[in-house]
Amino acid sequence: MDPQHHQLHVILLPFPAPDHMIPLLDMARLLATRNVKATIITTSVNASAFTKAIETSHKVGNLNLNLEIFKFSAEEAGLPEGCDNAEFAMKHGLAPQFVQANQLLSEQLEQYLDKVQPDCLVTDILFPWTAEIATKVDIPRIVFYAVSCFSLCAQELIRVHEPFKDVSSDDETFSIPLIPHEIKFVRSQISPNLINNKDFISKLIDSKIKKSGDESYGVIVNSFYELEPDYADFFKKEMGRKAWHVGPVSLCNRSTEEKVLRGISASMNEHECLTWLDSKKSVVVLYICFGSIVPITAPQFYEIALALESSGKDFIWVVRNFENDEEWLPPGFEQRTQGKGLIIRGWAPQVLILEHKAIGAFVTHCGWNSTLEGITAGVPMVTWPVFAEQFYNEKLVTDILKIGVSVGLKKWSRMPSSDDLIQREAIETALREITERDAAEDMRQRAKQLKDMAWKAVAEGGSSYSDLSALIDGLRSYRTQKRV
C-alpha cells in the first residue's frame, strides 16, 4: 500500500492512575480523529475507565479506537489481587511492588508489539522499561508528558543548578536560574526528593525515567504553544528534545456524553449538576476539587467548610476519601448552605462543570490536568498545591499567566499534617480575592483570552493541530524510511 495512505497504528500505554489514564485516553481519541488507528493497552481492573468512552467514540465519531487487555501480575510482585491501580498502592506504601508489577507487563508488551507491528508506541513517562522493548521491536517510542512545559523546565533547572543551596532557611526565597521569568520559590515548596534525592520514586525518576525520556523518539506535551511560548521554546532548545505540543487534549471531548465518560464514572448525575448550575447567575459559583490523589485532611476540609459558609458564596465542592461526614463536615453545614452549595461525594464530571457559565472560580490543587482544564474553561483559580509538580503549576497560574491567587500553602508534602493547615480566614480571603476585588475582573478577562487561545490552538491550522500533523507526518516518514 502507498505509505501515504497506510493507516498508521499507534499503541498507547498509560500509567494506571486516573490523572495519567484520562489524558492518554484523550490523546488516543485525538489521534483517532486524525484517521490514526489507536489502541490503548490496559489491565482488566482499569478497563472500565476506557470502555464506555471508547464505545461513545465509536458511536459519535466512528473512530478507530481500541482496547487491548493485558494480564496484571499482582501476586507475583507481592501485591494483593486486583491492585491494578496506583491509588491503592500509593495509599498502602506499595509503590515499589506496584512499579515492579507494571514492569512485569514487559513480556506481554513485547510479544504484542511483535505481532501487530504498529507504527509507534506512546508511553507514559513512568514506564522507562518500554525503551528497551521499542528498540528491540524497532518502533519509535514517544513519551507522553501530562505536565506543563514550565514545570519540566523549572524542575530540571532546579535539579541541575540546586539554587536551594544558596539559602539558609526554608523561608528565604531563591530564583530559578536561566528561565525567562523571575520566579521566586522557598525551599519548602520544592519536593524533598529533589533536594535529598532519597526516596524510591525520586531515584527512579532521576535515573531510569529521565534517561528513557532523553532516549525517546520525542515527547508529546499536553499543553499548547501560546500558553507558555517561552518555556515551549526553552524546552526544545535547552533540553534538546523533539517535542510536540498538542493540547489541551481534553478539548477533543465535544459532546456532553464524551465529557462525562472520560475516566471514572461520576458520583452525581450530570443532569443534576447542570440543572443546579443552570439555576445560578453567571460566574458566581466556586468549584472546589483536589483531583484524584491529593490527601487533604479532615481538619482542612472542616476549615474549608467554614470559609465557604462565612464567604456566603455559591459552590460545588468535590469531597473524596472520607467514610462518614462527621469526620470533616461541621454539624448542620448542609442545612445552612442549602440552595447555595452542592457537595459531590466521590467523582465529579469536572470538565462539564468547569465549562458551565455559572462557574466563577476554581479552587484547585494545581494538578496539570485540572490546571489546564481550568484554563481551557476560562476560569480564574485559587491555587492550593500540595505535592508532585503542583507548586510549579501554581507559579505558572499566579506569576506568569496572572489568572489566580494562592491560598498560601508553602509546604510540599505527600501527607499534609495539622501543621500545614490553612486557616478559614486565609481561605476566605483568597475566595474573596478571586471573585470580588478589582483584580478579579482582570484575571477573569485574562483567563477568557487564554480559553480562546486554547480553542484556536486545537482548531484546524492552530499550533496544536499543526504539531499533531507534524507528529503524524513524522511517523509516516519514519515508516517509509524503515521500508526502504
Residues with catalytic annotation?
20, 124
CB-nearer residue toward ligand UDP: 348 or 397 = 348
350 near ligand UDP, judged by CB under 6 A: yes
Question: DSSP secondary structure string, 389-458?
Answer: THHHHHHIIIIIS--EEE-------SS--GGGPPPHHHHHHHHHHHHTSHHHHHHHHHHHHHHHHHHHHH
Of these, 16, 140, 248, 367, which contacts ligand UDP (CB under 6 A)? 367
292 near ligand UDP, judged by CB under 6 A: yes
CA of 446: how far to CAs of 373, 379, 394, 404, 451, in Å?
15, 9, 16, 10, 9
CA of 170: how far to CAs of 187, 193, 393, in Å?
5, 15, 20
Q: Give the number of other Cβ atoms within 10 Å of residue 446's Cβ.
A: 16
Of these, 54, 74, 293, 361, which contacts ligand UDP (CB under 6 A)? 293
351 near ligand UDP, judged by CB under 6 A: yes
Q: Which three cell numbers stand for residue 195?
A: 533536594
Shortest distance, position 286 Cβ to ligand UDP, whole Å: 15
Binding letters toward ligand UDP, positions 150-189, x by CB under 6 A:
----------------------------------------
Q: Which stretch binds ligand UDP (CB under 6 A): 1-9, 174-182, 369-377, 415-423?
A: 369-377
Cα torsion 268, 270, 275, 277 to 10°: value is 80
Question: DSSP secondary structure string, 52-68?
Answer: HHHHHHHHHH---EEEE
97 near ligand UDP, judged by CB under 6 A: no
289 near ligand UDP, judged by CB under 6 A: yes
If DSSP codes are grouped into helix, strand and coil, which group holds residue 353? Answer: helix
Shortest distance, position 347 Cβ to ligand UDP, whole Å: 4
Of these, 369, 376, 435, 463, which contacts ligand UDP (CB under 6 A)? 369
Contact (Cβ atoms closer than 8 angstroms) between residue 164 and residue 187 = yes
User: For ligand UDP, which residue has the nearest CB?
Assistant: 367
CB-nearer residue toward ligand UDP: 145 or 164 = 145
Q: Which three cell numbers stand for residue 292?
A: 484524584
416 near ligand UDP, judged by CB under 6 A: no
102 near ligand UDP, judged by CB under 6 A: no
Spatial distance between the Cα atoms of 400 and 181, rounded to a whole number of angstroms: 8
Q: Which stretch binds ligand UDP (CB under 6 A): 38-46, 86-94, 109-117, 345-353?
A: 345-353
396 near ligand UDP, judged by CB under 6 A: no
300-339 residues near ligand UDP, rule: CB under 6 A: 318
> Vertex 431, ends 289 and 363: CA angle to 5°?
15
Shortest distance, position 156 Cβ to ligand UDP, whole Å: 19
CA 451 vs. chain centroid, Å, equals 17
Contact (Cβ atoms closer than 8 angstroms) between residue 355 and residue 379 = no
Of these, 14, 16, 247, 291, which contacts ligand UDP (CB under 6 A)? 291
DSSP state of 330: P
Spatial distance between the Cα atoms of 439 and 284, rounded to a whole number of angstroms: 16
19 near ligand UDP, judged by CB under 6 A: yes
370 near ligand UDP, judged by CB under 6 A: yes
56 near ligand UDP, judged by CB under 6 A: no
Contact (Cβ atoms closer than 8 angstroms) between residue 176 and residue 156 = no
89 near ligand UDP, judged by CB under 6 A: no
Of these, 124, 303, 373, 467, which contacts ligand UDP (CB under 6 A)? 373
CA of 295: how far to CAs of 55, 92, 344, 426, in Å?
33, 13, 17, 20
CB-nearer residue toward ligand UDP: 318 or 475 = 318
32 near ligand UDP, judged by CB under 6 A: no
Of these, 150, 164, 333, 368, which contacts ligand UDP (CB under 6 A)? 368
CB-nearer residue toward ligand UDP: 16 or 118 = 16
Spatial distance between the Cα atoms of 291 and 365, rounded to a whole number of angstroms: 7
Residue type, 15: F
Binding site for ligand UDP (CB under 6 A): 18-19, 22, 263, 289, 291-294, 318, 347-348, 350-351, 365, 367-370, 373
